Amino acid sequence: MSTTIKAEYAQGAQLKELINQGNLVVVDYTATWCGPCRLIAPLMDQLADEYQGKAQVVKVDLDQNKDNAKQYNIRSIPTVLIFKNGQEVDRVVGRANYEQFSNALEKQLRL
């Protein structure tokens, strides 16, 4: 039985480094108290697993990373940002289904 990859938490310098390394990065802004965030958490884990080697999927705790959230103009959660080559290329705000996230990733992989 293979182990599934899960989206890990990132913050501060580690998050900045991930975004700037040039690869495709999915950043899920979340909080422990956010109900809709808990609903998309398994979708982020599924993305991390299915796109292993193609994209890095991380979670950012909004309460512990207020400066970073402000930097990217996060106004509500869940908000999922997709970065490519250090630049934000897509944003999904609010509760979404798996297809919305995977379609956004597929679009970037084709570009």
Catalytic residues: 34, 37
Per the DSSP assignment, residues forming a β-bridge with 55 are 24
Strands 55-61 and 8-9: what pairing? parallel
Q: How far apart are the first and last CA of the chain?
A: 34
Q: Give CA–CA dist 44/59, Å, rounded.
A: 8
Q: In what order do the strands lie in the sheet with 8-9?
A: 8-9, 55-61, 24-30, 79-84, 87-93
Q: H or E stretch including 8? A: strand 8-9
